[in-house]
Amino acid sequence: MLGSVIGAVSGSPETVALFVGFGLVVGLLFGFFGMGGSFLVTPALLMLGYPASVAVGSGMAFVFGTAVIATLKHHDLGQVDYKLGAIMIAGTTIGIEVGRASVFYLESLGLAGGVISVVYVFLLGGIGLMVTRDALSGDSDGGIDHDADGDEDLSEYDIPEIATRIQETVRIPPMVTLRGDVRVSVWVITAVAFSTGVLSGFLGVGGGFIRMPAMIYAIGVPAPVAVGTDLFEIVFSGGIGSYLYGQSGGVDLSIVAPLLFGSALGARIGSAATAVVDADDIKVYFGGMLLAGSVAVGVGEVGSYLGNELLETVGLFLVIGAAVAVAGAIVFSTLRTLRSTRGRVTATTD
């Protein structure tokens, strides 16, 4: 059995190098922005010609592995609400199974690749527009607070008005008290978990880019706790989702293992870069990357529909190129900031 697992990771050297490199880029984006890397993997795999169930299943297994690594770090920072995570696991797991069943149903109709690509176009496009508008307007409320290091008192975080209204309106028992003195109905948590779980199962993503804002704006959880708890929850839901996809032959270790190898290193570089570069400076590139990803998936899908290989290749290069460009901008900005800081320190010393 071990032989079959080892045999599964022995792809061609070019493919392994491609996946390690792509994993490095995705990990760097994930480590820097706290979200947004993983949902590039499934469209890229679809464009590389993998069947929808393998693209989604392997994407989910990759998210599972990445979440394990990130949760270990957030646990050390005290940013995980285990009670909230445990409540969310049930709703998310059922949601993922509904999403997964939808993928296999659409695949039996021969529509899975097309429908998933269309959902991605709208999702990446919509979120890309939101992030870009947010970055250009200089309003930083929509992003993830990387500076939240756990030292700040969680009850000092402002609860968004909409979350307060939900907490006052929906008071169906049982009610639970979460970290940061947030008191909310279990049913609100379950609804958020289920709906984001459906999306995770359907698209093969962790769902953090939707679940984190949902936890902040619908449940009222402080941002750092939302990040840590989301990752903890993905370990379980992603693990179960990967298991279900794996049973149907949807998890390809020759894809997941090299991706994870690259992303674990990229995530360390990305999270270290947050201490040096202001995320808001890079956010506009991030929004642009999501928009480029949306266009890339659309172009690839049109190419696939028309049987035009050139368009499919253009789509693939766009999605990978956009991710590489933003990752490069992060590394470049980090090194430039470090060198100028070093230069100032040296001049002062002299």
Partner 1 sequence: MPGLEVPTWDPETAMLIGAILLEAIVLYVGYAGLERLVGRRLMEFLVGGDSDAR
**From residue 292, how far is each of 24, 46, 134, 142, 287 by CA, in Å?**
19, 16, 17, 20, 9
Which of 22, 39, 50, 64 touches partner 1 (CB under 8 A)?
64
Give the nearest distance from C-beta 337 to partner 1 in angstroms: 9
Q: Measured at the alpha carbon of residue 25, what is the angle toward residues 23 and 26, in degrees to the nearest 5?
A: 65
Three-state secondary-structure class, residue 50: coil
**CA–CA dist 164, 173 (Å, integer):** 17
Tokens 């290193």 sit on residue:
265
Q: Buried (b) or exposed (e) across 245-255, using 16+ Cβ within 10 A?
A: bbeeebbbbbb
Give the nearest distance from C-beta 241 to partner 1 in angstroms: 10
175 binds partner 1 (CB under 8 A): no
Binding residues among 70-89 for partner 1 as defined by CB under 8 A = 72-73
234 binds partner 1 (CB under 8 A): no
4 binds partner 1 (CB under 8 A): yes
Contact 223, 232 (CB under 8 A): no
68 binds partner 1 (CB under 8 A): yes
Which pair of tokens denotes residue 79?
Answer: 């940013």
Near partner 1 by CB under 8 A, which window of 152-160, 190-198, 224-232, 266-274? 266-274
257 binds partner 1 (CB under 8 A): yes
Number of C-beta neighbours around residue 148 at 10 A? 20
Q: Measured at the alpha carbon of residue 96, what is the angle toward residues 94 and 99, in degrees to the nearest 5?
A: 115
Give the nearest distance from C-beta 346 to partner 1 in angstroms: 7
Which of 48, 115, 191, 276 touches partner 1 (CB under 8 A)?
276
Number of C-beta neighbours around residue 164 at 10 A? 13
Q: Measured at the alpha carbon of residue 202, what is the angle toward residues 129 and 178, in degrees to the nearest 5?
A: 75
**CA–CA dist 224, 74 (Å, integer):** 9
Nearer to partner 1, 218 or 273 (CB): 273
Give the nearest distance from C-beta 214 to partner 1 in angstroms: 23
61 binds partner 1 (CB under 8 A): yes
Nearer to partner 1, 206 or 220 (CB): 206
What x-and-dash track marks residues 104-133 binding partner 1 by CB under 8 A? Answer: xx--x-------------------------
Which of 98, 115, 191, 324 touches partner 1 (CB under 8 A)?
98
Q: Measured at the alpha carbon of residue 53, what is the angle toward residues 249 and 108, in degrees to the nearest 5?
A: 105
Nearer to partner 1, 93 or 167 (CB): 93
**CA–CA dist 71, 63 (Å, integer):** 12
Which of 5, 111, 136, 306 touches partner 1 (CB under 8 A)?
5
Which of 32, 202, 232, 261 touches partner 1 (CB under 8 A)?
261
Give the interface with partner 1 as residue ranges (CB under 8 A): 1-2, 4-5, 8, 61, 64-66, 68-69, 72-73, 97-98, 101, 104-105, 108, 239-240, 242-244, 246-247, 251, 253, 256-257, 260-261, 264-265, 268, 271-273, 275-276, 334-335, 338-339, 341-342, 346
